[in-house]
Amino acid sequence: MSPLAGHKADFPVLARTFDDKPLIYLDSANTSQKPQMVIDAMAEYYERSNANVHRGSYKLAHEATEALEGARAKVARFINAPAVHEVIFAKNVTELLNLLAQTWGRANLGKGDAVVLTEMEHHANIVPWHMLAAERGIELRWIPITPDGQLDLREIDRLLDGAKLLSFTAMSNVLGTITPVAELSALAHAAGATVIVDASQHVPHLPTDVQAMGADFVAFTGHKMLGPMGIGALWGRTELLEAMPPFLGGGEMILNVTKEGFTTTELPWKFEAGTPAVDAAVGLGAAVDYLSAVGMEAIREHEVSLTGYAMRTLTERHGDDITIHGPSEPASRGGVFSFTYKGVHPHDIAQVLDEQNICVRAGHHCAKPLMKVLGENATTRASLYLYNDESDIDALADTLSAADMFAL
Amino acid sequence: MGLEDLYREIIIDHYRSPRNRGELGEPATRTEGFNPLCGDEVVVFLDIDEGGVVTDVKIGGQGCSISMASASMMSAAVKGKTIDEVQQLTSSFKSMMSIHEREIGGDGSESEADSIVDAEFPMGDLEAMRGVVKFPVRIKCATLGWNTLLQGIDEHPAVS
């Protein structure tokens, strides 16, 4: 019995049944479920404290502002940010990476400049750079992956030579690979490049210290870390954020507006035009409290152990019929595994699993360049979190055989 | 609702033994269709003669049982038909696959929707695909080949 076993009961949706059978949720890399505490915090915000923020002259508005800024402080502490004003909220990592491409990117990248990505990026960390490449004529370079699903760093010096930016994932959403963030940040800085880390899969599952990571920007999203949808956070170094032009223009982000122009306000609000998702920020703050109470070390330990169990169980049960992509060693990966089974299309696998209420993701996982490298059109992906246990894995292993009807 | 509604015997048969699988060279057109949800890809090769008759069709690409079976059944159904007939058939098939139109139209009862569809064009074996509507995430799989076919017809030099 895992030391985290009691926590499943904190997630109301996990008590749901379909056709009198329990729900088995193995899609947390896609979005996590929410503990009652997060749901309650958001309801309480609306029941007690709702008002618009940063502009009300009354007590209720002050309370709403405190709720938003209190959540920002919690998030900053959670990732060991040196300063609270270095944490910027937006709706998700996709928006934050577009923010970086449109602000830092447009201010710093011109024709012929090189941006280095990896072959295991999510489309959110590819398309914004493609868009800028089309507009600015910048060059995209790609760090390849090894057959074991690790970054292949043999050519890293050549790839970083003369590059202006390295933007990469801290943990692959397809392979679960945990990348050497501090090492890559140091190499990129030595080559004179700025560093962006997509930590969408990292912050929810591993202790995260942005100072130890050594990057310049770290982006992550609330809904994958027990928080609500509609909020993500970016940590960035003060001097870089201050030098960047604003992203969206409008209310909240200005110091002054005249008929002739405008001046921007201070960090972090410079990048937060318009009324923010205060409810979602409050929910994210509660999620951070929940994760901190359980302990990120304990969560990581649980997931390493469960990942090992999953890889052993699936391999023992299905032998050569199953191929699990990514690192073979559980300690160097997160609880995300993409697999193929007997050549059956992932949609058909997901369909027969859903018959037993097992939720997995089938498809390219918003990482088509990686699919091409893996030589797959699509994979089935199961992903874990603190509320999963061995019985979930057993159900997956048992039910997979039902896909045999599609084996050609 | 059970999986037997989705995976009817005839669908599995088309999946295991796809009809008209392959490629066509010039002057046939080649049209690619993608399902952005899952990365499935269907390629439709189309030969249309001067009289507007689909003289040959071949299917390439890869996808799940539903998308491949639907494309296979489509290829068998449209071969030898005129463009007009193909377009009518496609429209009937797509309305059979459309839960939204069904919900919006009338009182949303299935019998009413069925009669509307049946009146349009005889579906033959394609009737077997009807069960897909009960699994909304799979509708895009079923219509991928048909949308690609329509695009291929639009782009064909014999059609303009």
pLDDT single digits (tens) A321-375: 999 999 999 999 999 999 999 999 999 999 999 999 999 999 999 999 999 999 9
Q: d(Cα A108, Cα A101) in Å, to the nearest integer? A: 10
Contact A348 B3 (CB under 8 A): no
Contact list, A352 vs chain B (CB under 8 Å): 3
Mean pLDDT score across all residues of chain A: 96
Q: d(Cα A266, Cα A86) in Å, to the nearest integer? A: 11
Q: What is the pLDDT of residues B106-131, one digit of tens each?
A: 444 444 444 444 445 778 889 899 99
Quick one: tokens of B54?
A: 């689909």
Contact A345 B65 (CB under 8 A): yes
Q: d(Cα B160, Cα B155) in Å, to the nearest integer? A: 8
What is the value of ipTM here, to two decimals? 0.80
Contact B38 A363 (CB under 8 A): yes
Is the CB of residue B56 less than 8 Å away from at least one CB of chain A?
Answer: no
Contact B39 A364 (CB under 8 A): yes
The whole-number average pLDDT for the span A91-111 is: 97
The whole-number average pLDDT for the span B33-52 is: 90
Quick one: tokens of A64?
A: 């709403």
A366 is catalytic: yes
Contact list, A346 vs chain B (CB under 8 Å): 38, 64
Question: pLDDT-based confidence at B1, cuts 50/70/90?
Answer: low
Q: d(Cα A161, Cα A146) in Å, to the nearest integer? A: 21
Closest residue in B to A348 (Cα–Cα): B64
Three-state secondary structure string covering chain B: CCHHHHCCHHHHHHHHCCCCECCCCCCCEEEEEEECCCCEEEEEEEEECCCCEEEEEEEEEECCHHHHHHHHHHHHHHCCCEHHHHHHHHHHHHHHCCHHHHHHCCCCCHHHHHHHHHHHCCCHHHHHHHHHHHCHHHHHHHHHHHHHHHHHHHHCCCCC
**B126-138 burial, b for 16+ CB within 10 Å, e for fewer?**
bebbbbbbebeeb
Q: d(Cα A156, Cα B70) in Å, to the nearest integer? A: 46
Query: Domain spans of chain A?
Result: 5-30+295-406, 39-292
The whole-number average pLDDT for the span B70-90 is: 95
| Side-chain half-sphere CA neighbours of B146 within 13 A | 25
CA B53 to chain centre: 18
Question: pLDDT-based confidence at B7, cuts 50/70/90?
Answer: confident
Select the more confidently predicted residue: B103 or B60.
B60
Question: pLDDT-based confidence at A17, cuts 50/70/90?
Answer: very high
Residue A317 vs residues A126, A314, A322, A341: alpha-carbon distances, Å: 37, 5, 9, 12
The top-level CATH class assigned to B3-155 is alpha beta
Nearest Cα residue to A254 out of A85, A88, A246: A246
Residue A72 vs residues A90, A268, B140: alpha-carbon distances, Å: 12, 10, 41
Which residues of chain A from 278 to 337 reach within 8 Å of chain B, CB to CB?
none
The top-level CATH class assigned to A39-292 is alpha beta
Quick one: tokens of B30?
A: 């080649």
User: For the ranges A67-76, A389-398, B34-43, B109-118, which has the lowest average pLDDT?
Assistant: B109-118
Contact list, B38 vs chain A (CB under 8 Å): 346-347, 362-364, 378
Is the CB of residue B43 less than 8 Å away from at least one CB of chain A?
Answer: no
**A380-390 burial, b for 16+ CB within 10 Å, e for fewer?**
bbbbbbbbbbe
Domain A5-30+295-406: CATH architecture, name and number where available: Alpha-Beta Complex (3.90)
